[in-house]
Each structure stands twice: as C-alpha cells, then as structure tokens.
Amino acid sequence: MAILSTLLALSEPTGMWETIIRAFEGFTNNYILAIILLTIIIRLIWAPIDTLNRRMSFKMSEQQAKMKPELENLNKKYANNPKLLKQKQNELYQKTNSKGMGSCAFMFLFLALNMVIFFTLFGGLNNMAAYKIASNYQELKYDYANCVVLTNEYTNSLSQETETFKDYQNLYFKRYSEGEGEEKVDYIGLFKKDNNEKVAFMPYQTDFSTKRTETNEEGQEVEIIDSTNLNLTAILKNFDEKKVVVDTKETTDAEGNVTTENIYFTEAFQNVAIEFVKIKFNENKENFLWIDNIWIADSPFERSVFTYENYSAKVGAAKIEEGEEFIYNSFMTDLREQEGRVNGYLILPVLCVLASFLSMWLSTRKKKGQEAPVQAGGKFLKFIMPCIFGIFAIFYNSVFAIYMFISQLISALLIPLQNYIINKWNDHSKKKEEEKKTVVEVDYTRKF
C-alpha cells in the first residue's frame, strides 16, 4: 500500500464547481484570484436576471401600495363578517393583481436559483478545502516518512545512534535530484551543515509498505502486506524505546536554579526532521494577506496547523487510515508549535456582514419618493442575511468567505446601475401605455 493511499479514497474533487475553479486557478495560478474572477463573472451573468427580479418586485410593491387604501376600507366595512371580507379581498386581488402570481413565481424561482448557486458552490469549496488540507498534510508526511526510514536504515548499521546524532544541531535533511530525463531520480540525504558532507542517503520514496509470508491455521502460506502506517509506527516506537542520550542541556528556572536535562535520540532526530518538514510546509502553504491558510476560516479561534482532532474533523474520519493519529502527532504537534499561528482576525466575516448589509440597504432605500422593492422575504432579510453571511464566514473556509464578500460587494455596486435601468424601463412602459390609451380614446370618439 503506497503512502498515497494513507488517506483512503483521497482524490481531487471532480464536481462542477471544483472543475470550474481548477480551470480558473490554472489560468490565474492563484486560488484567491481564481475565486475572485469566478465571482465577478457569476455576478455579471446574474445581473440581468437580478435586474428583472428587482423590477418585478418594484411593480408588486407599487401595486400593493395602490391597493392599501381599498384594503383598509374593506377591513373597516366588513370587520364583523370575516367570510365576506375574505371574498371581497380576493375580488380586489383578481381585479388589480392579475399578474401577481406570475411575478411571485418568478421571484420564487429567482430565490431558489440563488440558493442553489450558493449552496452548491459552498459544498464544492468545502470539498476542495478538505482535499487541499489532506493533500498538504500528505506531502508533509512524505518528507517525514523519508526522514524516518533513512534514519532507521542508517542507524541500524551503527553500534550507537550517538555516532550520527550527537552533533544533531549540525545535521540537516535535504531532498535533491540526480540524472536527467528518464534517468532522473529524487534522493533524500542527511548532511552536515559545516562542510555539506553527505552522511547517508537513499532514493526518495512514496511507498513504505512491505510484504511478508505467514502460515495460516490450515498450514497454507499467505501473503500479508504491512502498510506504510504500520511500518512507520513500528520505527517511531523503536526510536522512543531506545532512550539513547545524545546530548544534555541546561535550563534555568525563575529562581536561578540550573537543571541539566538529557536530550535523547528521538528528540534529536525530531529537531532535524522538523526543520526539513518546515521547508515543504512553507512551500505548500496557501495564504492571503493576513490569512495564514485560505482553506480554513479567517478566525483567531483557528490555527493554521491543526490538532489531530481538528484535522480529522476537516478531512473526515472515514477517509483516514488506521494508525494515522500516532504518525500525525509524532511530527505535526511540533510543527504546530513552531509554525502554527492564529489564522486570522475575523476581518473577512466583518467585511461579509458589512457588504451584505450595504447591498440589502441599497436595495430597499427610497427612490423617487417611493419605497424601493423589498426582495422576497421582506425587510427582515435586511438584518438576518448579513448575520447568515457572517456565520458562514466564521465557521467555514476563507475562500468561500471571499466569494461571499466579493459577491455582495458587486451586488451593492451594481444597484445604482440597476435602478437607473429600471427607471428608464418603467418610464418607457408608462410612455407606451399613455400612447396606447390616447389611441384608444381617439378611436372611441370616432364612433360617434
């Protein structure tokens, strides 16, 4: 079993949005630029539909305003007869609101499509985030596994590990290539810093599984494959059990008392291996401005390097192979302490709330002395929608938060243009109605 299969069924998501985002990422070579470009295109394509929906909403609002006095009169006149009141109200609706059902149906369809886009893209980006988190960890595991196996093979040939690691601060792991074309081979080596002497090396591997034969109860020989995780766990536990002292260090407490502590082989190896792992970590890290990891939330409650529990929750426990927790904690805990930091400061959630509120406010502000149309759901949405966007931005990945912010910001910026188009559209419609009315009146007078 190759190390590639450590995360069970790990494969790049192939959904519609994931495929589109990868295509944009290939063009921009940056996931953040890809999502910003995609968001702009989505909003521009959606803008004509949004404009039509806003115009229908405005006309319904205008129609309801005209009906309001008559409805109030009916309520007063038939207050003691609810059945007749209901009948009269229906007659009024049929008389003055013949297109209301069609408008409501369109607005419901508009809202439904909006929700489909929102939640399918949300799901796609969550799948992409889980994949990126898992694959980034897997790359780190490649490096660490090679350090483990190289060290184990080399020290097994020595009488004591101290021969290599007593000067651990002068050691470093390095990945390098030799040969060209089909002959090119990647190696991992253990070097000395002071003179770049190569202490040990081996081909860089991605499969540390082994095969062995055992005899079962029926006396038959069966082939057993020990997985990468099983072998790495055995080597690491062997490191722990050796308890070989390679150095000592002195620590001074607050009262000035000096204490001498032993540095064991495992700690020495770990210090050297983590420095190697940190190189890949910083190469693969996808950050954006103040956000250290774009695949998790912009939040001071998230760290850019997870605990195993958080990692398991992000990736999904069902996709993690047995024994992963021990291997993960054997090096990711040190990496978390050295390289992990708060992933953000809630800036994106705040921006999402502000952009959403601005968009909702602009869409419901007064214009031309009238109340602008309230989008399906009423004025309540002006306050609840920004909160929903903020919650999504706090608890899910920063890439989706950026999508929400850019989407709401573009919507807000487009509203003045949409209002201008709607006003011109309405003026044109009123002009045509007046012309039609004039023609009808002329034809009517000619009959006499």
**Which contacts of 154-159 are long-range, i.e. CB under 8 A and separated by 24 or more positions?**
154/190, 154/199, 154/200
Which has the closest alpha carbon to 37: 289, 296, 391, 399? 399
Q: Mind listing the pLDDT tens digit for each residue in 291-300?
A: 999 999 999 9
3-state SS, one letter per residue, for the chain: CCHHHCECCCCCCCCHHHHHHHHHHHHHCCHHHHHHHHHHHHHHHHHHHHHHHHHHHHHHHHHHHHHHHHHHHHHHHCCCCHHHHHHHHHHHHHHHCCCHHHHHHHHHHHHHHHHHHHHHHHHHHHHHHHHHHHHHHHHHHHHHHHHHHHHHHHHCCCCCCHHHHCCHHHEEEEEEEECCHHHCEEEEEEEECCCCCEEEEEECCCCCCEEEEEECCCCCEEEEEECHHHHHHHHHHHHHHHCCEEEEEEEECCCCCEEEEEEEHHHHHHHHHHHHHHHHHHHHCCCECCECCCCCCCCCCCECCCCHHHHHHHHCHHHECCCHHHHHHHHHHHHHHHHCCECCCCHHHHHHHHHHHHHHHHHHCEECCEECCCCCCCCCHHHHHHHHHHHHHHHCCHHHHHHHHHHHHHHHHHHHHHHHHHHHHHHHHHHHHHHHHHHHHHHHHHCC
Residue 354, φ and ψ in degrees, nearest 5: -65, -45
CA 136 to chain centre: 14
- Round to whole Å and give the CA distance between 18 and 24: 10
289-to-292, 344, 348, 390 alpha-carbon distances in Å = 8, 10, 11, 19
* Amino acid 5: pLDDT: 44
Q: Mind listing the pLDDT tens digit for each residue in 3-37?
A: 444 444 467 888 899 999 999 999 998 999 999 99
Within 10 Å of residue 284's Cβ, how many Cβ atoms? 13
Residue 291, φ and ψ in degrees, nearest 5: -90, 125
Residue 14's contacts (CB-CB under 8 Å, 6 or more residues apart) are: none
* Amino acid 200: pLDDT: 93
At 444, list the tokens. 């009517």
* Amino acid 159: pLDDT: 60
- Round to whole Å and give the CA distance between 47 and 81: 46
pTM here?
0.81
What pairs with residue 226 in β-bridges? Answer: 210
* Amino acid 6: pLDDT: 46
The residues of the chain scoring below 70 in pLDDT are: 1-10, 96-103, 158-163, 365-381, 439-448
3-state SS, one letter per residue, for 237-305: HHHHHHCCEEEEEEEECCCCCEEEEEEEHHHHHHHHHHHHHHHHHHHHCCCECCECCCCCCCCCCCECC
